[in-house]
Structures are given as structure tokens and as C-alpha cells.
Amino acid sequence: MKTLTTQELHQLLPPFTGEDPAPRWTETAAALGRKIVVLDDDPTGVQTVHGISVFTDWDEASLREGMTEEARMFFVLTNSRSFASAETKDVHTTIAKRLQQLSRELDQPFLLISRSDSTMRGHYPLETETLRQTLEAEGHPPFDGEVLLPFFAQGGRWTVDDVHYAQDGDRFVPVGETEFANDPTFAFTSSRLPDYIEEKTGGAVRAGEVLSIPLDVLRSGAVNDAASRLMQASDFQKIVVNAVEERDVQVFCLALAEALAAGKTFLFRSGASLTKVLADVPSQEPLSRRELRHEDSRRGGLVVVGSHVQKTTDQLQELLTLDVEPVELDCHLVVDEEAFADEKNRVRAAAVEAVESGKTAVVYTRRELIDFTGVDREEKLRISTNIADALTGLVQDFPCRPAFILAKGGITSSDIGSRGLRVRRATVIGQAAPGVPVWLTDASSKFPHTAYIVFPGNVGTKDTVRDVVAPLL
């Protein structure tokens, strides 16, 4: 696949000639009558929304709370991208059973979204197939289709002619040719989504069997045409949706509403933009310093960086040009239990000293990747989990409340939020920068009513982390 400049990609786009779909979608969304439940495999899926609850467990009580609250949508943070396959299947089986039971008891129909990485990493198709099989076994009507919609506007993830691209500066790179496709656990090669589906299903689904909702249909406002394509789906058929802006997704959602009204049933595997549009969450400006920092605090902030993608390393280098205290965790010591325990103690002491003195501590894992030659997938996950546990433990045992808290990387920020900060239910209050969500912790958390900045590993330019942190110092 060819990497395209922004200009070259725009030349491939049909013009948007349809009516503005927003007013019609707002009216349609209000009458949809379904609770939108989002299972998020890391905590960054809320990067487009605000005023939405995030639950960090899937106990029956939490799911009931989400199903009965006033908001149209709620998130359940599974953090399953850090799980082995067996645990992922068990968790999704449990959630699906509880949701179907609650839906029946409360007489509350729902739409279920498996929100995952817009650069296509994660347990696919395991998660959606597990959800489908479990829900149908529990009495849910058979699913006609699975919608794959990885478009994510704020991250520059576009799908054009069924090819998914990731923006890198002024270039759009086919996602199968990015560093994300070389993920040690979730590697893939295909950028064209029907081929990606065939690759990830091991050929069980052929690329030619995949339905497509093309851009020219959506951008012409042809809702009926898009709906008729959805009506063709049967037996959990895969459906790829092309999109380059939220209007495209709004037109798709109008078509989806028609298909749902006609009795069709769908599961969704998506990036963060579908969740925003489907729940009709309005856009808002990034949060201010006053909303992100404890103004009366004389302490410094705490930044924890775990992601190892090159984008994060570049961002870290820029962040360290500020007047902060760098504290490196030598994660390569993870193979020596005693040495790693000493290293964790050293890092904690240095970070606490900095924060208590009024300086912001930036704790980050050693940037050189561990050599995984000869190590199987499950062992890679175990090692990664042990490193994530070290960062989580740092926050879990932190003796003082920092002026602000930021975690960089999906697994890192999830573990710090759910275990380090002991959050059960957070409220998403907005974004610190486009695509960078902020939780407000609950009353029972380690640091109650604190803004927690959840910074995805694959979002922003090299300056974005520095630009978020600089006004908070």
C-alpha cells in the first residue's frame, strides 16, 4: 500500500454533497431507545466524550448502575488488551451474560460496542465472537452483522476505499505499515480492512465476503442506500464502514437506525469516534488548568510513562525539556525479582521526594525494548503485566496527593486508574487535548475528586504531552 500525503489522500475523497446530518441525527438518537454499552479494552476510548460514566469493574451492581443511569451510554473498562486470550474470553463471557440478564430484567434493550485501538491492535475477533456467542446463548436475537468502524478523527485514523490509514505529520500511512502493526502481541500486516478481517480470522472469513459502506454513499447523504446495504447482512457478516469525518459517521448512524427499526441486529468493533456520534455527545473545548490541577497545592505533579511506541518516546524527550524531575525505571530488571524490587523502591523514593518538594516527577520506563526473541505471546504479556504492576504500585503506595496526575499509555493508564487510584466509577469530564481524556475520580478512590489525565500511547504530535503538562507546572 502507498503512503499518501494529506493532499493526495484528499484527492481520493468524494465531496460531501448531502445535507448536514447533525440535526436529523440528534432527533433520531434521542428516540433510539437503546442503552449504549461500550466495553473498552483500555481507558482511552473515552477520548471523544464527556459527562459519561466509566466503570472499572463489571460486577452486577456496576452494570446495573450503568444500565439504569440517565445517560444514554456508559463505558466498562475491561483493559483486556493486557490480558491473555483465555482471560479475555472469560471476562467477555461474564459481561455478556450479566448484560443480557439485566436487559431482560429491566426491559432495557442495548447496543454493544467493543471499543478498541484505532490502529487495529487487540483481541480481535476473539472479543466480538465471544460476545456474540454468549449473548445468543442467553437469549439475545441472532446477530446479523458485525460493524468494523476504526475511524478516529482526533488521532488522524481515516478509512478510505476500505484502507485504514494512520496520520503521521503530513503523511497518511497504511496502518499495516506503521509501528503499531509490529506490536509484539497483536501484530498484523493488512491495511485493507477486508484483508485484515481475513488475516485475523485465519481465513474463516474471506475478504470477498465482507460488506462495505463506501464513502461516496455516506458523503452523498444516501441514508437509504447505506441502510439497504446493512439490511443485506446476515449470520454475523462483517461490515466495513469508511469515514474521514464525523458527518460520515452521522450518516451511517442514520442508516443504522433504519436497519435497527427494521429488526436487524449488530455488534460493533470501533474506534472512539463512533461512541461520540452514536450517543450524540457534543464537542467541547479542552479543559483548563483550573480544571486539571489542584490550585491550592504546593506539591508537584506526577507523570507516569509506560508506552513504548516511538511516538511516546519522542513525546517523552520533549517533556523532559521542561523543569521536571526525570525518574527512569529500569524495566529490564524485571527478569530478576530481587533487583526489580530494589529498583521499584528507588524509583518511588525519588518520585515522592520530587513531588513533596514542589517539582513534577516524570517516571518513565527505560526506552530500549526488552528482547523477546524466543518468548511466546503469553510470556510477553506476563512480562508486560509485571512492568505495568510496578508503575501501578508506585501510585498505589504514593503517600501524598500530587497537584495533578497524568499517565501515558493504554495499559499503564488503565492499571493506574483502576488499581493505583482505586477508581470504581469515574466521570469523564472532557479532554486535556484532542483525543486525551480526563477522568474525575470518585469519592472512594485513593485521591477523591481528582482530575486524572489518561494519555493514549498513540495520540498527539511530539509536542503534545509537553504542551499539556507545561501550563500545570
What distances in angstroms separate CA 136 from CA 133, 143, 178, 260, one per listed residue?
5, 8, 36, 17
**What is the overall mean pLDDT for the chain?**
94
Q: How many CB atoms lie within 10 A of CB 414?
A: 27
The single residue listed with the C-alpha cell 450503568 is 66
C-alpha to C-alpha distance for 276 and 45, rounded to whole angstroms: 10
State in Å, rounded, how far the first CA of the chain is from the last one.
Answer: 43
Q: Calculate what percentage of the chain has a pLDDT beyond 70.
A: 100
Tally the residues of the chain.
473
| pLDDT score, position 456 | 85
- pTM (2 decimals)? 0.91
User: What are the sequence ranges of the domains in the chain?
Assistant: 4-278, 289-472
| pLDDT score, position 410 | 79
The class (CATH top level) of 4-278 is alpha beta
Phi, psi of 411 (to 5 degrees): -65, -45
Q: Is the pLDDT of residue 42 over 90?
A: no
What distances in angstroms separate CA 287 from CA 48, 75, 437, one per listed residue?
13, 21, 10
pLDDT class for 118, splitting at 50, 70, 90?
very high
Q: Which fold has domain 289-472?
A: Molybdenum Cofactor Biosythetic Enzyme; Chain A (3.40.980)
| pLDDT score, position 346 | 97
In three-state secondary structure terms, 326 is strand
What distances in angstroms separate CA 250 from CA 160, 193, 239, 397, one per listed residue?
16, 21, 16, 45
Of 181-185, 226-230, 402-406, 418-422, the poorest mean pLDDT is in 181-185
Cell numbers for 444: 472512594
Per-residue pLDDT tens over the stretch 394-416:
999 999 999 999 999 877 888 89
Q: Is the pLDDT of residue 380 over 90?
A: no
Q: Is the pLDDT of residue 334 over 90?
A: no
Q: Is the pLDDT of residue 129 over 80?
A: yes
Average pLDDT, stretch 435-444?
94
Per-residue pLDDT tens over the stretch 288-324:
999 999 877 899 999 999 887 888 899 999 999 999 9
